[in-house]
Amino acid sequence: MVIKKQSSIKKQISMARGLIPADVVLKNCKIVDVFCGDIVPGDVAICEDHIAGIGQYSGEREVDCHGAYVAPGFMEGHIHIESSMLSPAQFAETVIGHGTTTVVCDPHEIANVAGLAGIEYLLEESKGLLTEIFCMAPSCVPATHLENSGAILDSQVLDKLLSQPRVLGLAEMMNFPGVLLQDDEVLAKLESAKKRAMPVDGHAPGLSGKDLQAYVGSGILSDHECTTAEEALEKLRSGMYLFIREGSTARNLKSLLPVVTAQNSHRCLLVTDDCHPQELLENGHLDRILRKAIGLGMDPVTAIQMVTINVANYYALPAVGAVAPGYLANLVLFQDLQDIHVEKVFSRGVEYKKSTVSVPDKRRNLPKQYPQVFDSIHVDTGSLSFAIPAEGRNARVIKIIKDQLITESVELEMKVVADLAVADTERDILKIAVVERHHATGNIGLGFVQGLGLQRGALASTVGHDSHNITVVGASDEDMLLAVQTIIDQGGGLAVVADGKVRASLILDVAGLMSTKDAETVALNFADLLRAVDGLGAQVPDPFMFMSFLVLPVIPHLKITDLGLVDVDAFSHVSLWV
């Protein structure tokens, strides 16, 4: 919350009344009024970091906008910054030019690696940026009992975390079975948020009927996992806010847009959830979603409300989300309401100018301050083996569904060589393994996956939702071993291996999830990875993104962790062999 000094309030009142010139005035604007849902001509007067008034004003500095639209700075309501593979400072520098002045993130990815230290790092790294970053307290660390993660955040830790500045509430409650079964620890976390009147985000794909009623009744306010209009409408009718996700992998905007009406749009947000660096650089951030929503027929002002005032209202954030007196001067300028391309951005009254991010001395010391974040790979390499003894004829195989995070469980006859089950590239069946990387336990979950299309080689990654162990898929054990060893040696990241050689790699030095390099560098390195993957016959545009969700045991139907295959519907481990 921003508390202005009395002298600043007096100055603002004087400027608002026109008694003294404003510090800055944006002249000849078309102001997007998110309160009434229309466009108002006028000037925007700025006093220091706040808006003094709208109407007709003069100022010490005047900027003629020549009829440009002026909207509130865009607000991201739900994202995992880690998915951008950029540090918080680099992420903020990338999205500010696209009009994003406020971000609410769920840091449960880094929390699953480094615990409370990971969240503290993110909050420290993001201090003083033009894009203000808030956090939700991760509710599921670890995400489930079906895997090993790097840390545990219990209800007592979360209770203290919810009292920290810039922590707005409880992040997505993925453990909906724990809610329904009235798990004491889960209920204690919900109660911590409830007693503070803080929002609790949900995560309940497919939940319906009386189970949905119980889930919502426990105090959970939102959901971003809807994939059909019917599911979205049921959740809206049950009192939930609908977060419409349009990220780099899961894209639900087109399917859910018909649900949004003039009567319910105030309960809807547009969010990204996960967004890769090349997506940010090539297509933008929330401005990209706005263009798509408007192109699909949504009223432009309604769409803007869904990334501004609706976000502010949901999270009870004061003085942001509108162009109005007393609000922070977070402003976005563009020429075409039907095709929004950001031309200027003001954050707290300061006009953004593109630059190379400088790293202050305090950020240079972060590796020493947070060793859990910058030294996060702990694997007993002597125990690495991906051999699978053939214990039967048919095995359960994870089958990828195009453009979906949901996977199928299929039973297929395995190819067997010398009593070992092996990959079968002719039928697009690859071996998949998850290596525990936090505590050197030696745990390795083994299985098979269909749908990636690799004809040779192996891919490995330390990005694996939500516990972020090492995931590797491949056509040969030898290449899989080299891929895993490569990312261990580089301290985290991604690697492509083929024929016993490393073809490309990307170092993610922050918890094995993010890079301290700028977005352009990360995007170029990632493009090199994808080119190397294409040469191996991949049939999906970004196999690393799919790999990161193959190990997420809260999205149906069959997944894998370091403890083995998981039947998500039964919420329990299941044998590889049928």
Q: What is the pLDDT of residues 253-302, one digit of tens each?
A: 999 999 999 999 999 999 999 998 999 999 999 999 999 999 999 999 99
Q: What is the pLDDT of residue 362?
A: 55
Do residues 89 and 150 both lie within one domain?
A: yes
Q: Which of 266, 325, 258 is nearest to 293 (CA)?
A: 258
The verdict on residue 347 lying in a domain is yes
Domain boundary among 351, 385, 414: 351
pLDDT band at 494 (very low <50, low <70, confident <90, very high): very high
Instruction: Mark residue 380 as left, alpha or beta (left: phi above 0; alpha: psi -120 to 50; beta: remaining).
Output: beta
Do residues 319 and 386 both lie within one domain?
A: no
The parent domain of residue 312 ranges over 71-351
Mean pLDDT of all residues in 135-141: 96
Do residues 385 and 343 both lie within one domain?
A: no
The verdict on residue 49 lying in a domain is no
The verdict on residue 394 lying in a domain is yes
Do residues 344 and 385 both lie within one domain?
A: no
| Pair 540, 453: CB distance under 8 Å | yes
Do residues 388 and 337 both lie within one domain?
A: no
Tally of CA atoms within 13 A in the half-sphere of 291 that contains its CB = 15
pLDDT band at 4 (very low <50, low <70, confident <90, very high): low
Q: Which of 276, 229, 252, 558 is nearest to 404 (CA)?
A: 252
The verdict on residue 283 lying in a domain is yes
Domain boundary among 351, 366, 400: 351
CATH number at residue 162: 3.20.20.140
Do residues 75 and 126 both lie within one domain?
A: yes
Question: For the whole prediction, is pTM greater than 0.95?
Answer: no
Rounded Cα distance between 535 and 528, Å, is 11
Do residues 170 and 287 both lie within one domain?
A: yes
pLDDT band at 3 (very low <50, low <70, confident <90, very high): low
The verdict on residue 25 lying in a domain is no
Rounded Cα distance between 316 and 311, Å, is 8
- How do beta strands 268-271 and 59-64 pair? unpaired
The verdict on residue 20 lying in a domain is no
Do residues 167 and 109 both lie within one domain?
A: yes
Looking up tokens 């195989």 gives 397
H-type alpha helices, 415-552:
477-489, 519-534, 543-550
- Residues, the chain: 578
Q: Which of 342, 356, 256, 246 is nearest to 298 (CA)?
A: 256
The beta strand positions in 18-80, using DSSP E, are: 22-33, 38-47, 50-55, 59-64, 69-72, 74-79
Do residues 297 and 435 both lie within one domain?
A: no
Beta partners for residue 334, in sequence order: 69, 342
Q: Which two tokens stand for residue 186?
A: 């889960």
The verdict on residue 536 lying in a domain is yes
Mean pLDDT of all residues in 389-413: 93
Looking up tokens 């970004």 gives 542
Do residues 184 and 247 both lie within one domain?
A: yes
Q: What is the pLDDT of residue 471?
A: 98
Count of other CB atoms within 10 angstroms of residue 128? 9
Q: Is 140 helix (H, G, I), strand (E, B) or coil?
A: coil
Do residues 405 and 477 both lie within one domain?
A: yes
Structural domain total, the chain:
2
Do residues 76 and 141 both lie within one domain?
A: yes
Count of other CB atoms within 10 angstroms of residue 303? 25
The verdict on residue 272 lying in a domain is yes
Give the single-character DSSP code of 83: G
